[in-house]
Structure 1
Amino acid sequence: MNKEFFSKTETIDYVWQYSKYYGNLLSYCKDVAEKDSGNGFVSLIFLFNLMENIFKSSLKNYDARLIDVIDILRDNGTITKIEHDFLNNKNNGIRIIRNLLSHSNLSKYNLIFTEDGTEIYYPLTENETCLKMYEMISDILFNLMLRIISTDTIEPLNIDLDDKINNVKIKIKKCTPEKLMEFRGIDVSIIPNWEELNESDKYRIVESSSDVRMVTNIASTIFKNYLE
């Protein structure tokens, strides 16, 4: 059967016919992201865990490392080179993002978008950033999981994802705590003993700090309106 792309609901229905367990999990993942304003952190972690589990199930090897599983899927022709790079790119690949969520201090990392020629930073510590990323990649991963599962069915599905992937621009950038404070309009030189703090404490202070520029703009607007 040939079709360029399936909706999440269609994907879940097909997967459910193959495995009720995986179909239900994909349904739960979709619900978490879409209901009650969504939970970005849980949605992404859930999605990445499902992806890894389904990839490994297709090779009947749950002990393999994900990086190796993705390489094998490319080598045996199950995924394309573009899909492989989307998953395994060492800088901004899905596997790297999955590792950051599981093992890193997320305060360091930002999702970058270029809007009107200006780079806009979205902190990975923000739920809205994770939801934005989920929206960018989830349809692709749902379809990729479906196609991989379909190789074990009577009629494998031919789903071409290369163009969809080429339209996704994911850029992850690490920022120093000083740079993040600058974004908030705060000069770290006014913070006592800043240079003596360890890195983790600096990032913790950053996360607890308000955006001075935003507060200033709000106050200026209120004051201006009051004068008028």
Structure 2
Amino acid sequence: MFFRIFSRFRTSSRERASLGLSGFVLPAASSDRGTDMLSPSLHSNAHASNNACMYSSSSDDQLIAQLEYYFSQDNLVQDHYLRSQMDSENYVKIMTLCDFAQVKKFIEDVTDPEQHIATLVQTKSAVLQVDDYGLKIRAKSGPEKFRLVVRDVPIGFDEQKVLNLFKIKNESKVIRAELATTSESFATWYVGFAHAEDSQKAMEHLRKTEPSFKV
């Protein structure tokens, strides 16, 4: 049942690319720039599946579920376009989201999409919040809003060594590093940041300094 509900949101990045769409693809990002619900990669579907239980099949409830997926940590890890649209407080303009194909289809007949989405988020979502002016939304989650997944880290690396990887000019914006999985020779770590800009800079830094690590 969960799959049937959320498969309606699915649009792969390859499909979007074949349509000649520009940009990374956010969860149905502007003109399909962004990733989508149930996109491949790191998303465990747990968040989306739980929402499926909570919401009915109405258009408004499906729209909220889609928006909540966009701002989930698992999507933000891979969604460079959406992160690029965030301001210093991690808000994204509602009108930007209105351009995403997976949002557009739910608001085609709405007179004022911006106000409609702001009201829905305020009344229906437990994980999103609207700014004081009703123009932007963001996740309500705690200080760790962005997480990088670092693969192929040598087994000998402990938490401090992982944290040191992300020091830029002797300063680190990492909130925490958590060991995720291990194999015979390598490990995967989750590294959390408070802001999109910090995670982006950290990712670029690691790719330059430790190209053998996958992030």
Using the size of structure 1 for normalisation, the TM-score is: 0.26
Instruction: Indicate the structure with greater strand content.
Output: 2
Higher relative contact order (CA 8 A, sep 6+): 1
Q: Quick check: which has more Rg, 1 or 2?
A: 1
TM-score after normalising by structure 2: 0.27
